Structure 1
């Protein structure tokens, strides 16, 4: 769209616009606007629609509408697939785009602003907590597009998945968690652009270089006093035709899984896209060039303009602390259960809970780190369906029983009804390494201390009962079991019958004594965490579970067993350990199938566990 088109758009959007206002919108002199208006009138694009200068109005003519037609915005794609780890614990319950700012959800504010500009065809790319966005279909007539790779890949993949939404169309590209003070959307757009904000001082944002016409010529990470990528973008159909073939080639290139889509643009501008694809696969490069209709040598000429926005117009909240500063509601009334709990336990307002950070989610629970009263603590939040898998009352009983041994983390709070737990965070601590046999010697020493402590609880960990329970959960929730499941299930029955016949003695066992649950403190102490499954059982189960979690082979498992026993195992000890390796693999494969039904996916873990069930059954049958 040229300047005549911009004059036509201004008249269409605001018939009573003054020429001074036009000059401000176009960022040109008043004299230039006066000349452009006269030319537009002379070309029959616009005409006066008022009796005098005092109440002058404009109207767009048919030729003006024809001029604008190719620039009509067809719709918008809103990216809302990610987790938003920097907003925990809020995003444990609510996707970031559905968080409210001044009483209005961020994604809804953007949808409303799009509607005000006449844009109704809106697609939302979802992933994490996708069901939470379903209500928007009825409320705003939007469409949802699911990205199945949201948990392991970045926005490059989301754009790849949305190719059919973008191709051949003029489309806004928005992030669900942006907040725009003033509506910056239009029914017609000049050409591709990226919103930008001037950031003073040092910045680690993506900084833009551009020429006198506002065309973006380069993108680099980090700079000083720079205009940075900040807020929405706009893809013209011409831009998309040249850009998407290169992005698709990047999707097929190893090592790009964590790329933002903007990396493709940056690489096209500086020539790296050609080099990367040529080095990876020359055929990919040829295909991208053919589909884009542009030779790789000219990819740097791709046309996207900088759309400079005034200060305080666009907000990209980097973390919960920024959101708290912007909207005071989040300082003391976040409506988040975890923050309300921490506030009650420590008897402080939510505003004094600081330095909140997401910790790596466990396979059963989610956790976050926070600081209060000068100390760091961890809050555990039970994951989906956990209430069916873990008896929290029994967990509390175990913690009470083993506390005198001094081998657990220091608990500050544990609610047996909800499963919420708060414990001290140990600065400088590390987990055990499955590849360090020195670490494993200390881990096994702690297990021996537990197993020989004489500490008892009133409940057993009955692996037969657990397998039957998980099996029932899987079948009742539509979980897809393995093709040969019935046969392997009979194998497991044979193993459990043999173990029952051995009459082995029980002791308090951790059940989940894997390397990630051992914490090595700076002072040399070792702690064993997360006693959710603990109960009375054969002690060999702890050795077996530690081994299969670490994906040990048979030789490594045997070595771990010798470390635990401090001698060669008896035939019964070896049989029991192998049997529990098989049964543990079977149990956790069922657990993973059930969790996948709830939306938690653990990749190859499910198959690896099932293979352990088969492997050690077959070995024991030979023995």
Structure 2
């Protein structure tokens, strides 16, 4: 009525999706409360808004909008390795741009985008639309509760949007009366958050998952009163140690009686939250032809099939060196490996390729479909019904050591070797070049490691093909079959370095290390064997601590992994010295 003072009551009923009788009741109540008056002779006069109504209407003006765009979007790999989900196109239009333009069409020009992952890719929006940026430093480790925490002072009369939503019709307005959450109706089982609704669709309760009902889906509006109430609750929750996985909705759910919000029911085909590439293909058929992603184009080329035959893409847990995703093709599952940040300085992919060819007769490794020796991109068959080895499970441990011994006794050779001194010097060099932060006593400890290097270098020892990266997670166990994957560091070396590597990767204490040695040798180790392994534990720990110094200088965080490795270096240096004194 403020926009179109002569709007027919039937049109009001249609737009609000309520009955004509209910519209008449609302208008009667508004006139009774002083929000309407009749211009002309009743009942033929026109209903007009009073000054009181216009004042209240102005108090409902929307101040701003916040678009959450900090997350990775793991369900859209590999597209989101290069493009944040909000910047993906639907019908030739980027999802975040569509929402910005819808906001602006409603008169909302104060727009803040909270960025994190690939933040630079959003920068052009400042020039194109005059938006503001806020960086969320927690985007890697915390859920979207942290996003609203970092813009908590911007919460007023505010729209809250996800950058990857797609709205068919513009549902934003210059004015809003009360807080709401967009809701759509689902039939059958769902993992979405189901609403229990009361009078006038007030949200009474929220349950995660269930069957049949209205679910939270799409954008949200906070009234100023709602923002003032939820802001301190967000601050309190953010500061807790157990809320890293929380959404802001978790705060709302736990305080629902104090936070009034209504369901803004939307019709079918209005609000979309695409959960996977397969879903977006069903909606935008251009994705059936091409997603314009280089990795999917490569898979298509390798298998000589169109992109739409590549389905069920899922991210795999990030390793310390690489990122990988799972995909399905003609009923078979495969793993696509993309080398991680900075690995080109650490790993010789041509040497890795040579190792894969060398170990092929043993049938120990993963089954390779494609390997690019220039960049290390690899496609291999997924091993179903399998698990990674548990270093503290006796049966798993026996299987792992049996595989390690078989590799060491195979007699296979490659043309390159793993030299600890050279590798330590190199890691130190590249960490320095990237201005890596070293440990305070690094120089002193490096001198101690040099002592151990001299001991090792002066001992007689065999040179066999070793895996080097013998982490328990690289053993894939499927029934009685065991496969050893990720041969990036494999080379000719003393086989006992693999035993030391396995121990430190498993965070073994000395008792567990002693058991590991006996299992490998199938007897008590000789003194010189124990000495070599002690030296390798210290040196390997030091090497990987250096490795983390370099990787963290590139912005990759490994938590306390480097600290644990550095502690192995120090502790086992002492054990070596004590062992030598007693021998």
TM-score, normalized by the shorter chain, greater than 0.5: yes
1:220-619 equivalences under 5 Å are 220-269=207-256, 300-522=257-479, 524-619=480-575
Question: Deviation digits for residues 388-408 of structure 1, max 9, x if unmatched?
Answer: 221110000011111112211
Q: Which secondary structure does the structure 1 equivalent of 2:174 belong to?
A: coil
d(CA) in 2 for partners of 1:22, 1:208: 26
Equivalent residue number for residue 25 of structure 1: 15
Equivalent residue number for residue 168 of structure 2: 181
Note the C-alpha offset of 1:534: 0.7
Going from structure 1 to structure 2, the CA distance change for 1:440 and 1:305 (only over 3 Å counts) comes to: same
Q: Which secondary structure does the structure 2 equivalent of 1:378 belong to?
A: strand
Equivalent residue number for residue 69 of structure 1: 58
Indicate if the aligned counterparts of 1:41 and 1:47 stay in contact, CA closer than 8 A.
no
d(CA) in 2 for partners of 1:35, 1:448: 84
Question: Deviation digits for residues 486-525 of structure 1, max 9, x if unmatched?
Answer: 2222222222232222253321111101111111122x12
d(CA) in 2 for partners of 1:164, 1:193: 20
Note the C-alpha offset of 1:64: 5.5
Note the C-alpha offset of 1:315: 0.2
Question: Deviation digits for residues 424-474 of structure 1, max 9, x if unmatched?
Answer: 111111211111133222212221221122211111112222222222222
d(CA) in 2 for partners of 1:135, 1:485: 43
Equivalent residue number for residue 292 of structure 1: none
Equivalent residue number for residue 126 of structure 2: 137
Indicate if the aligned counterparts of 2:70 and 2:117 stay in contact, CA closer than 8 A.
yes
Note the C-alpha offset of 1:30: 4.4
Indicate if the aligned counterparts of 1:77 and 1:173 stay in contact, CA closer than 8 A.
yes
Note the C-alpha offset of 1:235: 1.1
Indicate if the aligned counterparts of 1:47 and 1:61 stay in contact, CA closer than 8 A.
no
Indicate if the aligned counterparts of 1:509 and 1:539 stay in contact, CA closer than 8 A.
yes
Equivalent residue number for residue 105 of structure 1: 94
Is 1:205 the counterpart of 2:205 in the alignment?
A: no
Q: Which secondary structure does the structure 2 equivalent of 1:558 belong to?
A: helix
Going from structure 1 to structure 2, the CA distance change for 1:337 and 1:199 (only over 3 Å counts) comes to: same
- With structure 1 as the length reference, what TM-score do the two structures score? 0.86
Q: Which secondary structure does the structure 2 equivalent of 1:502 belong to?
A: coil
Question: Deviation digits for residues 557-602 of structure 1, max 9, x if unmatched?
Answer: 2221221122222333222212221222222222223222333212
Q: Which secondary structure does the structure 1 equivalent of 2:66 belong to?
A: strand
Question: RMSD of the alignment, in Å?
Answer: 2.7
d(CA) in 2 for partners of 1:71, 1:146: 29
d(CA) in 2 for partners of 1:615, 1:506: 27
Note the C-alpha offset of 1:233: 0.6
d(CA) in 2 for partners of 1:585, 1:326: 51
Is 1:117 the counterpart of 2:106 in the alignment?
A: yes
Going from structure 1 to structure 2, the CA distance change for 1:235 and 1:43 (only over 3 Å counts) comes to: same
Indicate if the aligned counterparts of 1:202 and 1:225 stay in contact, CA closer than 8 A.
yes
Equivalent residue number for residue 75 of structure 2: 86
Q: Which secondary structure does the structure 2 equivalent of 1:148 belong to?
A: coil
d(CA) in 2 for partners of 1:115, 1:481: 49
Unaligned runs of 5+ in 2: none
Equivalent residue number for residue 3 of structure 1: none
Unaligned runs of 5+ in 1: 1-6, 270-299
Indicate if the aligned counterparts of 1:510 and 1:535 stay in contact, CA closer than 8 A.
yes
Note the C-alpha offset of 1:43: 6.3
d(CA) in 2 for partners of 1:72, 1:614: 64
- With structure 2 as the length reference, what TM-score do the two structures score? 0.91
Count the aligned residue pairs. Answer: 574
Q: Which secondary structure does the structure 2 equivalent of 1:256 belong to?
A: coil
Pick which of 472-481 and 345-354 moved more: 472-481
Indicate if the aligned counterparts of 2:110 and 2:131 stay in contact, CA closer than 8 A.
yes
